[in-house]
C-alpha cells in the first residue's frame, strides 16, 4: 500500500541587483533574505547536523560524482509557515513546508512568491533610491546557466529504487507537455537537427544523464540523492530535479498531483507490466521539449513508438483504474485528488485538440501565445532581443513588471489563503509543530531542520527535539499540547526531551 | 492512439456530448482570449524593459542547485 505522498517544492530564484558598487548575487541574496526576516520575524538558524546530500539512493557513491556542498556560512532561516528561506549557491531559495496534497503544495508555493515580493520591498526600503533587487521565478539566464525547481515526495523505503527509476522516467520526460514554463530558442547544443524557435521547457536541454547524484553538472533525469529528512528505515524522499519553476497554478498543481499519483502506482507495482520505457530518455526529453506540435513519436525500449501525449494518456488510464480499485487517499484529500484526475484528463484532451486553448492555464502556452502575437504585430522574429527580454520578464515577480500577471491566468487558490499561508503552517504534517513553535517561542529556538528543533532555555545544554515522522506533529497531534504549555520549558518537560 | 480511444470508450468519465460542449466552449473561449490579447498588446509596451538588448545581455546568473 502506497505511503502518503508528503510533498514540497524548493525553488531557486533568479536575482538581479541593480545598485552602485557591489552587485554580487550571493551578497544580494543574503541582503534580500535578511531584509525580509528582520522585517517579518526573528531569524532562526538552520540546523545542519543531519545534512547528508552526498548519499546515493542506489546505495553507493559514484567516484566521479561530486557531492553538493553545504554552505553553512550563508543566510539560512526557517519561517513560521514551516518553510526554509535561504541562500543556495548564488540564489535566494524558498523550500515549502511539507504538504499532503497538490493543492496545499500550490498554496505554499504561491505563498513563497509573495514572500519574495515582500523581500524585494523590504530590500528596496533598505536601498532607498540607491538601487533595488529584482527576483525572477525562472530556471535559466539564456546563456547556459540553469538553476533549479525541485520537488520532493515521500516514498516507502521498501520499494526498490531500481523500480522507481525504471517506471518514473517516462513520466518525467512526457509531463513536460503541461509542466513546461516555455523558452524562446535554446542555449546548449541540443543534438542533431534540433534548432527550436521555442521550447516547452526551460530545463530539458540541461539534462545529460538518465540517473545519478549530480544536480549542478551532467544533470540526471532521475536524481538519486538519498537524504530522507525522516526515519530512513521506513522512508525515502524522492528528490526530483527535472521540473521547471511554474507561475501557472494549473501547471504546478498537475506537476505535483500527477507525479504523486504515478509514484503511488509505482509503490503498488502498477506500472511494472506496462510497456512505456523509453529507448533513449535523454534524447527524448529534448525531443518532447522541442516539439510544439506534440506529435513526434518517441522510441520505446520495446520497439514501439508513441508520442508524449499518447504516453501521458496511457498513464492516465492506468491511474483511473488505480483510483477505482485502490483510491487516491495517499495523494491528499478527496477534493484535491479528484481534481488532479479531472484536470489531468481535460488538459490532455485540450492539448490533443488545440494546445492554444490552454493559454490561460499553462505557462508554455501562455508565453508562446503572447510572444508570437507580439512578434507578429511588430513584424519581428522570435529570435529578437525584444522577444528574449519579454521571455525573461514573464517571470519577473514584481506585480507592475510581471508579464505573467498581465495574462489573467486561471487561479486554483484564493489570494486570502495565499496571504494566510505566509504565516500559518499546513495543519496536517510536522510542519505544523515547527511553525507553531517558531511562532510561539522563536527567542528560545536556536536552530531548526526538517526533522528537528533545537531549544535554548538559557540554563541547560541545548535541547534537540527530533521530528522523524513527517506525519506526526500535526494540529490534531499537538494543538492540545501546545495550548497547555505556557513556556518552551514546559513543552520540553511534557515531551520528555 | 486507436488503442487509447478504445479504452476511453470502454470507461468514459464523461459523455461525448459533454466533451463536444466543452470543445464548443473552448472555441468561444479562444475568441474571447484573442480580444484580450489585442488589448494587452496595445498597452504592454509601457511595462516592457526599456533597452531589450542590454537587459538580456545583463541578465546573467550563476548555475545553481
Q: How far, in Å, CA of A85 to CA of B4, rounded?
A: 44
Asked if A316 and A274 touch (Cβ cutoff 8 Å), the reply is no
The lowest-confidence range among A377-381, A389-393, A458-462, B13-17 is: B13-17
* Chain B contact for A360 (CB, 8 A cutoff): yes
- The answer to whether the Cα torsion of A216, A222, A226, A230 is positive or negative is positive
pLDDT 10s digits, A132-191:
999 999 999 999 999 999 999 999 999 999 999 999 999 999 999 999 999 999 999 888
Question: CA-CA distances (angstroms) from residue A167 to A160, A226, A288, A346?
Answer: 11, 18, 18, 24
Asked if A473 and A136 touch (Cβ cutoff 8 Å), the reply is no
Categorize the per-residue pLDDT at A5 as very low, low, confident or very high, splitting at 50, 70 and 90: very high
The ipTM is: 0.90
**Is pLDDT at A343 greater than 80 in this prediction?**
yes
Question: In chain B, what residues touch A148 (CB-CB under 8 Å)?
Answer: 64-65
**Cβ under 8 Å to B: A residues 76-105:** 88-91, 93
**Is pLDDT at A247 greater than 50 in this prediction?**
yes
**Three-state SS for A448?**
strand
Percent of chain A residues past pLDDT 90, beyond the cut: 83
The lowest-confidence range among A235-239, A378-382, A428-432, B30-34 is: B30-34
Helices and strands (H and E) in chain A: how many: 15, 18
* Chain B contact for A470 (CB, 8 A cutoff): no
φ and ψ at A221, to 5 degrees? -65, -40
Residue A73, pLDDT score = 56
CA distance B40 to chain A (A): 8
Chain A: residue whose CA lies nearest to B61: A141
**Is pLDDT at A259 greater than 70 in this prediction?**
yes
Q: Which of A110, A67, A117, A68 is nearest to A92 (CA)?
A: A117
Residue A66, pLDDT score = 44
Q: For residue A144, how many other CB atoms are within 10 A of its CB?
A: 12
Residue A289, pLDDT score = 98
Asked if A276 and A388 touch (Cβ cutoff 8 Å), the reply is no
**Three-state SS for A220?**
strand
* Chain A contact for B49 (CB, 8 A cutoff): yes
pLDDT 10s digits, A193-231:
889 999 999 999 999 999 999 888 899 999 999 999 999
Question: In chain B, what residues touch A65 (CB-CB under 8 Å)?
Answer: none
pLDDT 10s digits, A444-479:
999 999 999 999 999 879 999 999 999 999 999 999
**Is pLDDT at A22 greater than 80 in this prediction?**
no
Mutation target among A220, A223, A320, A393 for the B interface, most CBs of B within 10 A:
A393
* Chain A contact for B6 (CB, 8 A cutoff): no
Option in B19, B41, B47 nearest A373 (CB): B41
Say whether A91 and B13 touch across the interface (CB within 8 A). Answer: no
Distance of CA A251 to the CA centre of its chain: 11
Residue B6, pLDDT score = 40
Q: How far, in Å, CA of A271 to CA of A238, rounded?
A: 17
- Angle between the N-to-C axes of helices A334-353 and A308-326, in degrees from 0 to 180, rounded to the nearest 10: 150
Question: In chain B, what residues touch A313 (CB-CB under 8 Å)?
Answer: 4
Residue A449, pLDDT score = 92
Residue A45, pLDDT score = 74
Say whether B4 and A401 touch across the interface (CB within 8 A). Answer: no
pLDDT 10s digits, B30-39:
677 778 888 9
Residue predicted with more confidence, A401 or A50: A401
* Chain A contact for B59 (CB, 8 A cutoff): yes
φ and ψ at B13, to 5 degrees? -90, -20
* Chain A contact for B52 (CB, 8 A cutoff): yes
Categorize the per-residue pLDDT at B7 as very low, low, confident or very high, splitting at 50, 70 and 90: very low
* Chain A contact for B2 (CB, 8 A cutoff): no
* Chain A contact for B5 (CB, 8 A cutoff): no
Residue predicted with more confidence, A322 or A23: A322
Question: CA-CA distances (angstroms) from residue A182 to A81, A179, A237?
Answer: 30, 9, 28
Chain A: residue whose CA lies nearest to B43: A406
CA distance B62 to chain A (A): 6
Residue A74 exposed, middle or buried by CB count within 10 Å (0-12, 13-18, 19+) = middle
**Cβ under 8 Å to B: A residues 1-20:** 12, 14-16
Option in A93, A216, A389 nearest B63 (CB): A216
Residues paired with A86 in a beta bridge: A76, A93
- Which residues contact residue A81 at a Cβ distance below 8 angstroms, ignoring those fewer than 6 apart? A97, A108, A111, A421, A422, A423, A424, A425, A431, A435
Residue A132 exposed, middle or buried by CB count within 10 Å (0-12, 13-18, 19+) = middle
- Would you please indicate which residues of A are annotated as catalytic (active-site) residues? 88
Residue A69, pLDDT score = 44
pLDDT 10s digits, A384-425:
999 999 999 999 999 999 999 999 999 999 999 999 999 999
Residue A89, pLDDT score = 85
Residue B17, pLDDT score = 75
**Three-state SS for A50?**
coil
User: For residue A229, is it left (φ>0), alpha (ψ between -120 and 50) or beta?
Assistant: left
Residue A43, pLDDT score = 60
pLDDT 10s digits, A65-106:
443 444 445 788 999 999 999 999 899 999 999 999 999 999
Matching residue, cell 521571455: A391
- The answer to whether the Cα torsion of A107, A104, A16, A88 is positive or negative is positive
* Chain A contact for B13 (CB, 8 A cutoff): yes
Strands A91-95 and A132-136: unpaired
HSE of A6, CA atoms in CB hemisphere, 13 A: 25
Option in B7, B26, B56 nearest A389 (CB): B56
Option in B30, B52, B61 nearest A389 (CB): B52
> Which residue intervals of A268-384 are DSSP H helices?
281-290, 308-326, 334-353, 363-378
Residue predicted with more confidence, A44 or B53: B53
Residue A72, pLDDT score = 44
Look up the pTM and report it. 0.92
Amino acid at each position: 500500500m502506497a505511503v502518503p505522498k508528503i510533498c514540497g517544492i524548493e525553488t531557486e530564484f533568479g536575482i538581479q541587483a541593480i545598485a552602485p558598487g557591489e552587485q554580487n548575487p550571493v551578497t544580494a541574496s543574503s541582503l534580500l533574505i535578511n531584509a525580509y526576516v528582520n522585517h517579518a520575524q526573528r531569524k532562526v538558524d538552520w540546523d545542519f547536523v543531519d545534512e547528508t546530500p552526498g548519499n546515493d539512493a542506489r546505495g553507493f557513491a559514484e567516484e566521479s560524482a561530486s557531492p553538493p556542498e553545504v554552505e553553512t556560512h550563508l543566510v539560512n532561516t526557517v519561517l513560521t509557515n514551516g518553510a526554509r528561506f535561504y541562500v543556495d549557491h548564488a540564489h535566494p531559495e524558498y523550500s515549502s513546508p511539507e504538504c499532503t496534497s497538490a493543492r496545499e503544495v500550490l498554496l505554499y508555493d504561491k505563498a513563497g512568491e509573495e514572500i519574495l515580493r515582500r523581500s524585494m520591498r523590504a530590500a528596496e526600503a533598505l536601498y532607498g533610491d540607491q538601487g533595488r533587487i529584482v527576483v525572477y521565478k525562472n530556471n535559466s539566464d539564456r546563456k547556459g546557466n540553469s538553476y533549479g525547481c525541485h520537488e520532493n515526495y515521500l516514498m516507502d523505503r521498501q520499494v526498490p529504487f531500481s523500480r522507481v527509476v525504471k517506471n518514473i522516467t517516462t513520466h518525467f520526460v512526457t509531463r513536460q507537455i503541461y509542466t513546461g514554463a516555455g523558452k524562446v530558442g535554446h542555449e546548449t547544443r541540443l543534438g542533431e537537427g534540433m534548432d527550436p524557435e521555442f521550447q516547452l521547457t526551460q530545463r530539458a536541454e540541461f539534462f545529460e544523464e538518465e540517473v545519478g547524484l549530480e544536480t549542478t553538472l551532467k544533470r540526471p533525469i532521475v536524481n538519486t540523492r538519498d537524504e530522507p529528512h525522516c526515519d530512513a528505515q521506513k522512508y525515502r524522499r524522492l528528490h526530483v530535479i527535472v521540473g521547471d519553476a511554474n507561475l501557472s497554478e494549473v501547471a504546478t498543481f498537475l506537476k505535483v498531483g500527477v507525479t504523486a499519483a504515478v509514484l503511488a502506482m509505482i509503490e503498488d507495482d502498477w506500472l511494472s507490466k506496462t510497456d512505456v520505457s523509453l529507448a533513449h530518455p535523454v534524447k527524448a526529453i529534448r525531443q518532447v521539449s522541442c516539439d510544439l506540435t506534440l506529435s513526434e513519436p518517441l522510441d520505446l525500449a520495446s520497439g514501439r513508438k508513441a508520442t508524449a501525449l499518447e504516453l501521458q494518456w496511457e498513464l492516465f488510464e492506468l491511474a483511473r483504474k488505480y483510483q477505482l480499485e485502490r483510491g487516491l487517499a495517499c495523494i491528499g484529500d478527496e477534493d484535491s485528488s479528484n481534481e488532479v484526475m479531472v484536470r489531468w484528463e481535460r488538459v490532455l484532451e485540450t492539448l490533443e485538440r488545440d494546445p492554444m486553448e490552454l493559454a490561460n492555464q499553462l505557462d508554455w502556452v501562455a508565453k508562446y501565445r503572447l510572444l508570437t502575437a507580439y512578434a507578429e504585430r511588430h513584424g519581428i522574429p522570435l529570435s529578437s532581443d525584444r522577444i528574449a527580454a519579454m521571455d525573461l520578464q514573464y517571470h519577473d515577480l514584481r506585480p507592475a513588471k510581471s508579464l505573467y500577471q498581465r495574462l489573467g491566468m486561471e487561479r486554483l487558490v484564493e489570494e486570502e489563503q495565499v496571504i494566510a499561508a505566509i504565516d500559518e503552517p499546513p495543519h496536517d504534517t510536522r510542519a505544523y509543530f515547527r511553525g507553531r513553535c517558531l511562532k510561539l517561542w522563536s527567542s528560545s529556538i536556536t536552530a531548526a531542520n526538517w526533522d528537528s528543533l533545537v531549544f535554548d532555555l538559557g540554563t541547560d545544554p541545548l535541547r534537540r527535539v527530533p521530528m522523524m515522522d513527517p506525519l506526526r506533529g500535526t494540529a490534531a497531534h499537538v494543538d492540545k499540547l501546545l495550548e497547555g504549555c505556557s513556556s518552551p520549558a514546559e513543552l520540553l518537560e511534557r515531551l520528555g526531551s | 492512439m486507436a488503442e487509447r480511444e478504445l479504452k476511453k470508450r470502454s470507461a468514459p468519465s464523461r459523455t461525448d456530448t459533454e466533451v463536444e460542449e466543452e470543445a464548443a466552449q473552448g472555441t468561444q473561449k479562444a475568441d474571447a482570449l484573442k480580444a484580450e490579447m489585442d488589448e494587452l498588446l496595445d498597452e504592454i509596451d509601457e511595462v516592457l524593459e526599456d533597452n531589450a538588448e542590454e537587459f538580456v545581455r545583463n541578465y546573467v546568473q550563476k548555475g545553481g542547485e
